[in-house]
Amino acid sequence: MSDNPQVSPAPFFRLGFGVLALRGADAVKFAHAQCMSDVAGLPAGHWQWSGWLTPKGRVIALFARAKFDEQTLWLVLPDADAAGLAAQLRRFVFRSKVAIEVRDDLVAAGAFATPAEAQGARLAGDPERGVELDMGATGGPRRLRIASEPVADDPVALARWKRFDLEHGLPRLEASQREQWTPQMLSLERLRAFSVKKGCYPGQEIVARTHFLGQAKRGLALMEADAPLKPGTEVDDGGNALGTIVSAAAGPDGTFVLAVLPHERATGALQAGNHTLRERPLLDGLAR
């Protein structure tokens, strides 16, 4: 990353993301065996969306995984508790030469601005000086900076960031929605966040069988409502329960939600919590 990465007056604000560092001779091998995307095939200096699943193929955590070299990886966690996830992953280290460290010294900061050097899946910087990821998409540019520099809170900008995620099909999973949904239910193929070809990982059999047998019957839909709604709220068509809200982001002009719904359903009015929902198209460009 350059010594002067500020290429835009847009200010940085705290995102509250956690960071796990995986280091050691077996770091890539360990991550490849545990995560649902192809770590071994990811070039050094790049990042991708990924996640960790239960043996039954349910998503425990979604994250951006940055690969610096064959011995150094970061998991950037928008929602999952870093210390809790680290403790769970360490149970599977066994004799692997990998250390899993919670990087509490780092601050994840966002800005609605063009990245200084990062572009698409190519990251910029390094673990010592700081790292930049390109989080932009068709809705506009976004920078993610992970470094030791402190940054101020901005609740309005933070809500806008979360809404951007939802509009592009990135579910933000609070605790109540973890271990509930398969990658296909969350339409994570849109983000290229999982692989059905790379070999074994927890939940891989469920994910691959669903894919190859064409059994994915539900996926994400983006909805807008005039009132606040919470994850876990049931979505119905006025009489029949159809699905569940997974993520919600409130804004000054309403609430955007991601709901898991049947791919094939009758057209008509939907509601949640007695509030009318208006379906919106999911935007593209956030896949890496």
pLDDT in tens, 210-230: 988 888 899 999 999 999 999
Mean pLDDT score of the chain: 94
The CATH label, of 3.90.330.10, 3.90.1300.10, 3.20.20.140, 3.30.1360.120, for the domain at 13-150 is 3.30.1360.120
183 or 254, which is more confident: 183
Q: How confident is the model at residue 154 (pLDDT cuts 50, 70, 90)?
A: very high
pTM: 0.93
Mean of the pLDDT values across residues 258-287?
94
pLDDT of residue 185 exceeding 80 = yes
Q: What is the pLDDT of residue 239?
A: 84
pLDDT in tens, 50-109: 999 999 999 999 999 999 999 999 999 999 999 999 999 999 999 999 999 999 999 999
Q: What is the pLDDT of residue 216?
A: 86
CA distances to 25, 82, 209 from 20, in Å: 17, 6, 30
How many angstroms separate the CA atoms of 223 and 260, rounded? 11
pLDDT of residue 234 exceeding 60 = yes
What token pair was written down for 20?
A: 């796990």
Kindly list the domain boundaries of the chain, sorted by start residue.
13-150
How many angstroms separate the CA atoms of 276 and 185, rounded? 23
Cβ partners under 8 Å of residue 142, min gap 6: 110, 111, 112, 113, 134, 135, 136, 161, 164
pLDDT of residue 127 exceeding 60 = yes
DSSP string, the chain: --S----SSPPPEE---EEEEEESTTHHHHHHHHBSS-STTSPTTEEEEEEEE-TTS-EEEEEEEEEEETTEEEEEESSS-HHHHHHHHHTT-TT---EEEE-TT-EEEEESS--SS-BTTB-EEETTTEEEEE--BTTB--EEEEES------HHHHHHHHHHHHHTT-----GGGTTS--TTTTTGGGGT---SSS---TTHHHHHHHHHTT---EEEEEEEESS---TT-EEESSSSEEEEEEEEEEETTEEEEEEEEESS---S-EEETTEEEEEEPPP-----
How is residue 193 annotated by DSSP?
Answer: -
Q: What is the dihedral of CA 135, 139, 140, 142, to 10 degrees?
A: -20
Q: What is the pLDDT of residue 10?
A: 78
